[in-house]
Amino acid sequence: MTFDVQFSPSWYVLFFAFFLAWLVLAIVRRKFIERREVKEQLLLGVLGSCTLLSMEVFATSMNLWSYIPGNWPVMLWPTYFVAILFGYQLLRFVEMLLSKGLRENSLRGV
């Protein structure tokens, strides 16, 4: 199994799109983020990346799909990590919006 570090520019666009989306949501939610939540994000990112990496290894070893020798998508793995962080922030953002809406409705007696 060999690794290649030359990737299509599209991979970098995808990576930075997820990274910037995560960053925007993190900034929007910054007053709600606690130290524990940062640890949760990192743990979820690492465990999710391990899961997706093992999926790649399993799928290629079972010939479900293959990569040209020397062309393993190493850029895909950091992209998985950032996409998982973005998903976490998006989930927490939606949770915040819904709880805010529920609080406002309960204050109005709805």
Structure tokens at 23: 């960053």
- The amino acid sitting at 8 is S
Local mean pLDDT, 10-residue blocks, the chain (110 residues): 65 90 87 77 90 85 76 79 93 86 64
60 bridge partner residues: none
pTM above 0.75, yes or no: no
Phi, psi for residue 68 in degrees, rounded to 5:
-60, 135
> Percentage helix, strand, coil, to 5, in the chain?
75, 0, 25
Phi, psi for residue 22 in degrees, rounded to 5:
-60, -45
